[in-house]
Structure 1
């Protein structure tokens, strides 16, 4: 196939014709994805192109990237070839895979005649590439002024942006094409336009150091203070790339030298980080604040030290930067300098800091950092300057501990030689020796012991260095510790010895070594766990074999009689289980609570282990002390494959015992159809009840297992059978919204209007839980829409109570009585208002609900809303002076519960502030009494805050401010209740009394008022 392409490349037209006549595919791509006609166009060979077209070449077929012969001819500016291709059907607007058209290519080339020709042939001037680039973008990017001029004259959209939000002006600014920018601005382009990142043309020009562009744009009123989405301004952008001329110009224009980005970084932070000392000094000279911090509390000095910029550090300090400032995490610049181990920078800081031992928020000092990072020079320097070797961080770790943790021998030696205590412990009791043992650092271990480290020192949990080495498998360290007096038999507080620990973690070599040193293979810890149990627990077969070969007792149980076989079965280690049984482990040994190894395997679904145990004689029907058998455990834990195996092996399917359920319940509960079929096939009673009175049908319906429900019914399950409280399978399906289950039940005789002990039907339940589709089904199946439960609640009332607007709407269409009350007269509207369900309220009122209908106490929906403080409902209902049988209006209820925002709303809607209840008390009576109640919290609104602030210097409680508010809004203090008491007579302090007295117009009026008080 490549022969044709080679002939085309060579311009061998005769050979091209021969190959085509022999059947070569004229449109095939070569290994580089190029078609013959594309190659011919690349060479500009008109004769070959003509030959190929005559032989059927597709003019518009692209190469692997979608570029056609016309694209290539345009790229090569071969106008004659372009015209030829157009005459043979070339599509001028066809795009490559990235959307490049011939016009885009021509615009980049800057050949005006090519651009003119392509547009003359119908090229779309504003056609975009995949990235949103138009021809105008390309001309701007390449600085092709002539092309740009022509494109503008042919209708190019100067404001069109690419996928990143960049216009032609933005791209020209980025590239520094001042002539393009001038032409575009004459076209009226907005010089402050931003890309998707919020970055302006001025910002990108500053970033790239185009001073002439920056100057021109600012002359055209570009906002040089505008920041992008991350808070970067033209000044910080120029600073990042070190464009000092742009920086100088912007500052002279008035740019804020101390403005920070979103993280609080200023130009000075940036210059210091990048090590640009000249710009740093320039910014300082222009007023940059040396100690300005970012959001993390970091100054420019921090950024310089973090990157080891000595000259910038010197510059900042010499100009007055404070080396003692701490970041939010407590770090100083010295901490950061030490991290890099740069001694020159460190020394500069040490001469400035007041405390070389200052720790960060975690107590980490510069010395800790030097030790942890292994900088011995920095360590020596800090010690020489007074660093405290024994200072610990918040975890109690010293520098020595941290050096040992990361294996820094030279730092460890340096610290010890300067007096570090090798036996100093962290808060959890770990020493440097514990850490070196954990990491396996033999050299550090040797050194620490040579300096007096205690080889038998214990952590807070009782772990010695030997135990730690055993846990992490470091035999060489363990041997060295033993040689130097380490106790191989010392256990932790749980009596876990190095031998037990090594077995648990599968370190065979250590286990073997400790046996040679006399380890007791059958000794357990304080709960009786032996090395064999530990190895079996984690499936360490080689360790298991080693222990057995050294007389480990395979039958030995821990204190609760769990054996190594129990452990292997629990975690599914088949090979270990086989090894143990082969060497005499008792397959049916039970724990203190009656659990067998088979039950352990069933618990975690280890089918292979379960099969093996059964073949070795495991009792498949043995139940534990709670009555659970391996079968019921497998079903409960959702391991159907284990359950199926046990059933097929003869497990007792009728066992119920203490757990109150049987295999059929568990299979139905978890949706195991095949197991359900098998159980019924062997005679299990389909209607048998569990201890909670549920049947298999009930639990299947509860969990939405439609196929199980259908099968159980086909096998005689009683669809009407309920729990002791009368709840049937249909009730629970309605509650959970299992429509398919509800359909099956109703189609098979489930009584739609059957009541539970509270006289609730499935329809009540569906409505209560907002299950619209089930509600619709039940109504279609004969549900009674206004049927009452024992409290008189109908379905509409229940759905309204819980705010299920869709169910409410549907029930109304089915004839539900919107004004029906329950036994105490509560209607659906009052229930919805009580719980603040505004959408339900609107639906009910739209459909005829009586907004003023009260319950048996004459309390309306408005009272209910006020009682619970539902402001939006109150505003909607708005009959503010409606009263209940106690004469309480909504405002009385609102005051009773301290709902200030409700009170304010009611007053704004015309509520009578002086309306009296049946006991003749007004709002003012109730509000004053509220001041002395401890069971109510009064809502502190802005109105009450303002009263307290403006009048009482912030010392007035919300309760007293409410009294003041009512008086300000016209509350009459001269109204007696039916006991003859004025509101003031309920006041127990002078502050409330003075609020009332201060509003009386004269002393004579006051005397008259006082005369009315009993």
Structure 2
């Protein structure tokens, strides 16, 4: 093997055993590894084999045939290619003049001596090689000419030599990339050379990109200007419908964007309908957005999904929102079927939400039917998004701005109760959430929010204290007869996940009703645990004091009751 050895003789190293730890304490990890390899190869024999792909390999085996190590067979560099790499012009000259030297023989598939010289920028060697006819436009296995190789490596002198000897500047590689296209490392001198030799400036690569788009991507105004003067078209789009102007906005290239705005349509759209402003917003390029708006870019052109740049900015949570608000039509926003408020709240962008509210966006704007269908729960308001995200700060801001908590089919209050968030429940109830609402698609004979709050007794009691109907929970027409599986309270309380709390739930409810009759289903639950048997004593006849309390509460109302000039203890009792 041609691997480097550690700085001690092989014989002395091989006489040591690995038990002699002290002898290796001063060796590095690399030296220890090399020593282990050398020892493993001691008393081995070498064999050559060829893989299925034709690659020659070397195998090291022990005498018993077990494999120790295998690797590619070392390749010896051809003398001509070695001389070119080292820049040995005299040696190259001798080899070129030698009749036995075949300049058309590659060192690896398609790689000729002329490509080697162009790659390493050996101008003198290149001149000697080009003295032989038929070399100049030969291509590698990737379709690269020596000119394209020299351009990609930015070897100006080699480019001059090749063009001077008649190299074709328009031969592309197999990706259809020409030498002009490959000037992507911002070398104006090479671009000027190619243009002076009549290169075609609007040739497109396999993805439809032109040299101008590549220069824009490098933010090189000088090269862009050279290309436009040479006839480059600024409105040629690639396979995605993207023009150079769009590329500048998308990649945040301020200098080239400012230059192209003198020539191109600021509101040009890509294949998916996106404008430069839309794309700059999506990528968070604030300076680009500011420039485009100052040049009257249309902020009301939607992308393929129907969203405006403002929607995208609200979703990203950037300062771009403040730039876009003054130039975005609220009527156009309404036609999209979704408000920027929805986008901001869905991603918990509280700062953006506050900005949009201050700008006067409607906090009660609802999703269009088409947008609502994208969600399984058919949500429609920004408040619903805030509640389901458990974003209490957003809930508070929306309610303070006038959000109606009763617009969604599945009420935000039910979502908050299901999540067990008493803080959100309190906020919603204080702002008029309908505690007694039902779900149209799943009707019940009792307030639907109870289904989600019965396991949280303090929350359940809070809802009852603030107007939740308790009497409907005992409204069972089946009495002592068998109960069919319908959505009555007594059946709902019988599901396995809730029945373990049936006794305390019935106990709480009885505090909010007068004379009621417990159906057979409720009695069955109360009889299931001996500790619950005392709850049945609350059934009729109810004490007069309890009935009076309920009557006063019904006549006065809960909100007015708290304002009466009565002792605190009496108000709490009522």
Same fold (TM over 0.5): yes
| Equivalent-residue separation in structure 2 for 1:214 and 1:149 (angstroms) | 22
Task: Note if contact 2:103-2:112 (Cα within 8 Å) is conserved in structure 1.
Answer: no
Higher relative contact order (Cα pairs below 8 Å, separated by 6+ residues): 2
| Equivalent-residue separation in structure 2 for 1:194 and 1:167 (angstroms) | 8
Partner of 2:486: 495
Partner of 2:326: 351
Partner of 2:172: 194
Aligned: 1:387 with 2:361: yes
Task: Note if contact 1:191-1:201 (Cα within 8 Å) is conserved in structure 2.
Answer: yes
Per the TM alignment, residue 134 of structure 1 is displaced from its structure 2 partner at its CA by 5.1
Partner of 2:463: 484
Match of 1:267 among 239, 244, 247: 244
Instruction: Identify which range, 238-247 or 310-319, moves more after superposition.
Output: 310-319
Partner of 1:404: 387
Q: Which runs of 5+ in 1 are unaligned?
A: 20-28, 40-51, 69-94, 520-529, 531-546, 552-1014
Task: Note if contact 1:178-1:213 (Cα within 8 Å) is conserved in structure 2.
Answer: yes
Per the TM alignment, residue 10 of structure 1 is displaced from its structure 2 partner at its CA by 2.1
SS at match of 1:225: coil
Mapping 1:902-941, distance limit 5 Å: none
| Equivalent-residue separation in structure 2 for 1:438 and 1:144 (angstroms) | 75
Mapping 1:404-553, distance limit 5 Å: 404-425=387-408, 429-437=409-417, 443-462=423-442, 464-467=448-451, 480-481=459-460, 483-485=462-464, 495=486, 512-514=500-502, 517=505
TM-score by length of 1: 0.39
| Equivalent-residue separation in structure 2 for 1:117 and 1:36 (angstroms) | 40
Instruction: Report the RMSD for the aligned CA atoms in angstroms.
Output: 4.8
Partner of 1:246: 223
Q: What are the superposed Cα offsets for residues 444-499 of structure 1, whole Å, 9 maximum, x if unpaired? A: 344323433234433332273454679xxxx66x86356423779799x9836899
Structure number with larger C-alpha Rg = 1
Match of 1:176 among 145, 148, 154: 154
Task: Note if contact 2:300-2:332 (Cα within 8 Å) is conserved in structure 1.
Answer: no
Partner of 1:317: 293
Task: Note if contact 2:216-2:253 (Cα within 8 Å) is conserved in structure 1.
Answer: no
| Equivalent-residue separation in structure 1 for 2:293 and 2:8 (angstroms) | 73
Q: What are the superposed Cα offsets for residues 725-753 of structure 1, whole Å, 9 maximum, x if unpaired? A: xxxxxxxxxxxxxxxxxxxxxxxxxxxxx
Task: Note if contact 1:136-1:168 (Cα within 8 Å) is conserved in structure 2.
Answer: yes
Partner of 2:209: 232
Change (3 A) 1:403 1:13: closer
Per the TM alignment, residue 141 of structure 1 is displaced from its structure 2 partner at its CA by 3.0
SS at match of 2:333: coil
SS at match of 1:323: coil
Change (3 A) 1:424 1:210: same
| Equivalent-residue separation in structure 2 for 1:247 and 1:411 (angstroms) | 47
Q: Which runs of 5+ in 2 are unaligned?
A: 17-30, 59-70, 373-378, 477-483, 508-520, 530-574
Match of 1:215 among 183, 192, 202: 192
| Equivalent-residue separation in structure 2 for 1:201 and 1:461 (angstroms) | 66
SS at match of 2:181: helix
Per the TM alignment, residue 189 of structure 1 is displaced from its structure 2 partner at its CA by 3.5
SS at match of 1:321: coil
Match of 2:6 among 6, 9, 14: 9
Partner of 2:562: none
Q: What are the superposed Cα offsets for residues 70-128 of structure 1, whole Å, 9 maximum, x if unpaired? A: xxxxxxxxxxxxxxxxxxxxxxxxx9589895566665454557778999897986436
Change (3 A) 1:226 1:5: closer
Aligned: 1:185 with 2:176: no
Task: Note if contact 1:242-1:276 (Cα within 8 Å) is conserved in structure 2.
Answer: yes
Per the TM alignment, residue 203 of structure 1 is displaced from its structure 2 partner at its CA by 1.2
Task: Note if contact 2:282-2:309 (Cα within 8 Å) is conserved in structure 1.
Answer: yes
Task: Note if contact 2:246-2:276 (Cα within 8 Å) is conserved in structure 1.
Answer: yes
Partner of 2:548: none
Change (3 A) 1:14 1:325: closer
Q: What are the superposed Cα offsets for residues 532-565 of structure 1, whole Å, 9 maximum, x if unpaired? A: xxxxxxxxxxxxxxx9x979xxxxxxxxxxxxxx
TM-score by length of 2: 0.65
| Equivalent-residue separation in structure 2 for 1:307 and 1:480 (angstroms) | 44
Match of 2:305 among 326, 329, 332: 329
Task: Note if contact 1:433-1:465 (Cα within 8 Å) is conserved in structure 2.
Answer: yes
Per the TM alignment, residue 290 of structure 1 is displaced from its structure 2 partner at its CA by 1.1
Per the TM alignment, residue 233 of structure 1 is displaced from its structure 2 partner at its CA by 0.9
Partner of 2:253: 276
Q: What are the superposed Cα offsets for residues 252-306 of structure 1, whole Å, 9 maximum, x if unpaired? A: 2222223222222222222222333332221112x11111111222221212222
Per the TM alignment, residue 154 of structure 1 is displaced from its structure 2 partner at its CA by 7.1
Per the TM alignment, residue 382 of structure 1 is displaced from its structure 2 partner at its CA by 1.9
| Equivalent-residue separation in structure 1 for 2:178 and 2:493 (angstroms) | 65
Task: Note if contact 1:99-1:129 (Cα within 8 Å) is conserved in structure 2.
Answer: no
Aligned: 1:301 with 2:277: yes
Per the TM alignment, residue 511 of structure 1 is displaced from its structure 2 partner at its CA by 5.7
Per the TM alignment, residue 182 of structure 1 is displaced from its structure 2 partner at its CA by 2.7
Task: Note if contact 2:346-2:386 (Cα within 8 Å) is conserved in structure 1.
Answer: yes
SS at match of 2:200: coil
Change (3 A) 1:352 1:117: same
Match of 2:344 among 342, 350, 370: 370
Per the TM alignment, residue 392 of structure 1 is displaced from its structure 2 partner at its CA by 0.6
| Equivalent-residue separation in structure 1 for 2:218 and 2:107 (angstroms) | 32
| Equivalent-residue separation in structure 1 for 2:107 and 2:452 (angstroms) | 66
| Equivalent-residue separation in structure 1 for 2:394 and 2:288 (angstroms) | 29
| Equivalent-residue separation in structure 2 for 1:67 and 1:112 (angstroms) | 34
Task: Note if contact 1:404-1:435 (Cα within 8 Å) is conserved in structure 2.
Answer: yes
Task: Note if contact 1:467-1:497 (Cα within 8 Å) is conserved in structure 2.
Answer: no
Change (3 A) 1:61 1:409: same
Change (3 A) 1:444 1:140: farther
Task: Note if contact 1:370-1:379 (Cα within 8 Å) is conserved in structure 2.
Answer: yes
